[in-house]
Chain A
Amino acid sequence: MLVDKWVTEGINIILGLFTIFLFFLYFKIFFTMKKKSIQVFLGIALLVVWQIGILNIIGGTLAPIYNIGMTLVCTLVVAVNIFEGKFWKKCLFSITFDAIWMLSEMLINNMFMLYSERLANSQLFGSFISKLLLFIVIVALRKVITTTSMELPDSHNILLVFISAGSIYIMGTVFMLAYQSEWKYAETFSLISVAVLLFINVLIFYIYRKLADDLYVRQMNLVYEQQLELSERHQKEIELSMQQMRDVRHNMRNDFVSILAYAEKGECGKIIGFVNDVMENGNLKPSEGVNTGNTVIDSLVGYWRTTAEKEGIAFQSNLCIPVDIPFKSADISLILGNLLENAVEGARKADGKKYIRLKIKYDRSNLLISVENNYRGELVKTKGKKLQTTKADVLNHGIGLPSVYRVAEKYHGTVSVDDSVSNRFLIRTTLYGT
């Protein structure tokens, strides 16, 4: 008898370890492990104690309802401790894990009840077969779900939690009813409903993935829309500069006529004065000095300069960049377009003398961009210290700065906002070229 007991104990421990293995197999599909070793260690320790200890000590004596509650709490605590990610996402996946686990146990149990009473009474064998079923489900999930970077907003996660939590409840009820019922087919129907519930729970993953894909597509659409808008703007700027070229050519003709007139009279002094005037007025420079040879930067800065000056905002710029900078023009135009647009929006509402100061510098193969403007009012910050838009239409606005952050990250760079002086907004971006 003693040897028998030892064997049972051993098998129990092996099954516990198998559960731990399944736990990791499942969660690693959706989450990455945390780096902090203490928390992970605590989580794993709890998992081991729960799986090996509790089954032997109190597992048998607890009422089913407490057992289920215990399982739910333990899985959640362990998942929160070990893995990275949002709380509600962990909540959803740990409850779904429990639901699938319980449902497969129930399914196997039901099947045994139908075919052989003897097998149903052997706890160990049932537990083993149900874990095997769980294993098959998880392996199938691993095959189907490949994308790991799925993030849904909390509201979606909470809604999905209801499905799995609800099915655990229904399963419990069905089990109780079938157990107490005298009806001949109770077990068959119970088996079918458990199978249906299991299927619904597996479907959650499919729904989750679809929702995540949908969200991603929507985000990308916003980015594309923005790029389209930028290229439209670019087009406008080119038209504008063509117009200016025409004006210059026209003026040049007039200027030559005047010079010729002075020359014919032999008035050298007047010619010098006239030429100086023309040069100072900048009539010779079509694009008001924005000319670095870099078409993207030139046209963007030119566009925002004219827009700003139309609104009575003084536009100061200092562009110290070579013709061919080793950065993608799409990225540069995204950053510059957003920063300058924000600057114009901000300066427009400023009191007193409105101004924008832009500095772009190419330094040691890195690109440094600073934009400064004055504004009126308060900046709104979210928890992560990122700035929130102050515009009313939050959904469509505020995409600007996040995409600047995103591009900066791509170049290992940073975006920093200096608001230490009141009513002065200064944003600096560093992009590393190496």
Chain B
Amino acid sequence: MLNIAVCDDDIQFAENMKIQIQNIAKQNFVDVEIDVFQNGESLVDAVIEGGSFDMIYLDIEMENEDGISAAKKIRMYDKTVLIIYVTSHETYMKESFSVRPFQFLIKPVCPAQMEECFRTAYEDISSSDSYFRYKYQRMNRKVLIRDILYFESNRRKIRGITEKEVFEFYGKLNEIEERLKATAAAFLRVHQSFLVNYKHVEGISYDFVLMDNGKKISISVDRRKLISEQYCEMEDTVYAGR
């Protein structure tokens, strides 16, 4: 089940988008619930009140609050939601990239593009939509993969850091890395004792990653080349745009 928001001040266009998305979802056997917002403020309010969306189709050119500033506010509360800008401009401002948009769609949106974008977005979301299971003090526990920021190992003990809490258990980082690989979730082994969730990486350079809770983790020298290659590969999702 995907929660999708469509935000556009042109109500007709927004309704049209909603119908298009519903059709695409039906063809791909995906259950969706779509909310339509007519301005940035109401969308931001909905996010603040705890409405958790998986995807947001956001118009950039809106009166009062434009899409970019709305997106920035949303990012403060939700680090992982996929933001898809819908714009009638063919050139993008650098500012719009600061919220890590998933894709840009240009109005009028052609159906093929729309479907391709939806499919890659769906794959992206479902890859981190499963649980990470572990055992601690003889109890089986689980945590949603997309909530995990990173794992940190200290000898036999592993600490998992999420946005809200820290959990601990015994294990090996190598094994966890292998397990997560099987679920297709995007994790990067930037360091012998750090395994980070790519979804929560706010900044990345050749020698460090900055997590969205402000933690800076350096990439060890012998892993830099590999991480750089993996980084490019992850962003290279096949999508036929313009």
Most buried by B among A325, A357, A412, A430: A430
Interface residue count on the B side (C-beta < 8 Å): 34
Which of chain B's residues have a CB closer than 8 A to the CB of A290? 242
Most buried by B among A293, A325, A414: A414
**Which among B93, B204, B225, B229 is the interface contact of A366 at CB below 8 angstroms?**
B204
**Which among A316, A364, A412 is the interface contact of B202 at CB below 8 angstroms?**
A364
Shortest Cβ distance from residue A329 to the other chain B in the assembled complex, whole angstroms: 15
Is residue A39 within 8 Å, beta carbon to beta carbon, of the partner chain? Answer: no
Shortest Cβ distance from residue A404 to the other chain B in the assembled complex, whole angstroms: 14
Contact with A along B110-146 (1 / 0, CB 8 A): 0000000000000000000000000000000000000
Contact with B along A173-204 (1 / 0, CB 8 A): 00000000000000000000000000000000
Is residue B182 within 8 Å, beta carbon to beta carbon, of the partner chain? Answer: no
Are A324 and B206 in contact, with the CB atoms below 8 A?
no
Q: How far is the CA of A357 from the CA of B116 in the complex (A)?
A: 15
Are B92 and A323 in contact, with the CB atoms below 8 A?
yes
Is residue B51 within 8 Å, beta carbon to beta carbon, of the partner chain? Answer: no
Which of chain A's residues have a CB closer than 8 A to the CB of B64? none
Shortest Cβ distance from residue B121 to the other chain A in the assembled complex, whole angstroms: 14
Contact with A along B209-242 (1 / 0, CB 8 A): 0000000000000001100110111011011111
CB contacts under 8 Å to B, within A345-390, are 357, 359, 361-366, 368, 370
Which of chain B's residues have a CB closer than 8 A to the CB of A429? 232
Shortest Cβ distance from residue A302 to the other chain B in the assembled complex, whole angstroms: 12
Is residue B205 within 8 Å, beta carbon to beta carbon, of the partner chain? Answer: yes
Q: How far is the CA of A29 from the CA of B105 in the complex (A)?
A: 58
Cβ-closest chain B residue relative to A324: B94
SS of B interface (majority): mixed
Is residue B96 within 8 Å, beta carbon to beta carbon, of the partner chain? Answer: yes
Is residue A133 within 8 Å, beta carbon to beta carbon, of the partner chain? Answer: no
Q: How far is the CA of A324 from the CA of B238 in the complex (A)?
A: 24
**Which among B204, B233, B238 is the interface contact of A357 at CB below 8 angstroms?**
B238
Q: How far is the CA of A367 from the CA of B205 in the complex (A)?
A: 11
Is residue B91 within 8 Å, beta carbon to beta carbon, of the partner chain? Answer: yes
Shortest Cβ distance from residue A273 to the other chain B in the assembled complex, whole angstroms: 16
Q: How far is the CA of A432 from the CA of B232 in the complex (A)?
A: 11
Are B206 and A412 in contact, with the CB atoms below 8 A?
yes
Q: How far is the CA of A279 from the CA of B236 in the complex (A)?
A: 29
Shortest Cβ distance from residue B233 to the other chain A in the assembled complex, whole angstroms: 6
How many chain A residues sit at the interface, stated as a range, is 35 or more
Which of chain A's residues have a CB closer than 8 A to the CB of B205? 366, 412, 432, 434
Are A292 and B92 in contact, with the CB atoms below 8 A?
yes
Q: How far is the CA of A363 from the CA of B92 in the complex (A)?
A: 13
Which of chain B's residues have a CB closer than 8 A to the CB of A432? 204-206, 228
Cβ-closest chain B residue relative to A316: B240
Which of chain A's residues have a CB closer than 8 A to the CB of B231? 366, 368, 430
Are B203 and A365 in contact, with the CB atoms below 8 A?
yes
CB contacts under 8 Å to A, within B68-105, are 90-97, 100-101, 103-104
**Which among B97, B207, B239, B242 is the interface contact of A362 at CB below 8 angstroms?**
B97
Cβ-closest chain B residue relative to A323: B91
**Which among B91, B224, B228, B232 is the interface contact of A293 at CB below 8 angstroms?**
B91
Is residue A428 within 8 Å, beta carbon to beta carbon, of the partner chain? Answer: yes
Contact with B along A232-272 (1 / 0, CB 8 A): 00000000000000000000000000000000000000000
Evaluate whether A413 and B228 lie within 8 angstroms (CB atoms) in the complex, with A320-B104, A324-B94 already known: yes
Evaluate whether A321 and B235 lie within 8 angstroms (CB atoms) in the complex, with A290-B242, A364-B204, A434-B205 already known: no
Evaluate whether A416 and B229 lie within 8 angstroms (CB atoms) in the complex, with A291-B91, A322-B94, A363-B100 already known: yes
Is residue A317 within 8 Å, beta carbon to beta carbon, of the partner chain? Answer: yes
Q: How far is the CA of A357 from the CA of B241 in the complex (A)?
A: 10
Which of chain A's residues have a CB closer than 8 A to the CB of B241? 317-320
Is residue A289 within 8 Å, beta carbon to beta carbon, of the partner chain? Answer: yes
Are A320 and B229 in contact, with the CB atoms below 8 A?
no
**Which among A289, A322, A428 is the interface contact of B233 at CB below 8 angstroms?**
A428
Which of chain A's residues have a CB closer than 8 A to the CB of B204? 364, 366, 432
Which of chain B's residues have a CB closer than 8 A to the CB of A279? 108
Q: How far is the CA of A317 from the CA of B228 in the complex (A)?
A: 22
**Which among B100, B225, B236 is the interface contact of A359 at CB below 8 angstroms?**
B236
Which of chain B's residues have a CB closer than 8 A to the CB of A291? 90-91, 242
Q: How far is the CA of A325 from the CA of B97 in the complex (A)?
A: 11
Are B203 and A322 in contact, with the CB atoms below 8 A?
no
Which of chain A's residues have a CB closer than 8 A to the CB of B240? 316, 318, 357
Q: Can you list 10 residue pairs at the A/B interface with Cβ under 8 Å?
A: A322-B92, A322-B95, A357-B238, A362-B94, A363-B97, A368-B231, A368-B235, A370-B236, A414-B228, A416-B228
Q: Please give 20 more A-B residue pairs, beta carbons under 8 A apart, in addition to A322-B92, A322-B94, A412-B207.
A: A317-B241, A318-B242, A319-B241, A319-B242, A320-B103, A357-B238, A361-B235, A362-B97, A363-B235, A366-B204, A414-B225, A414-B232, A416-B228, A428-B232, A428-B233, A428-B236, A430-B228, A430-B231, A432-B206, A434-B203
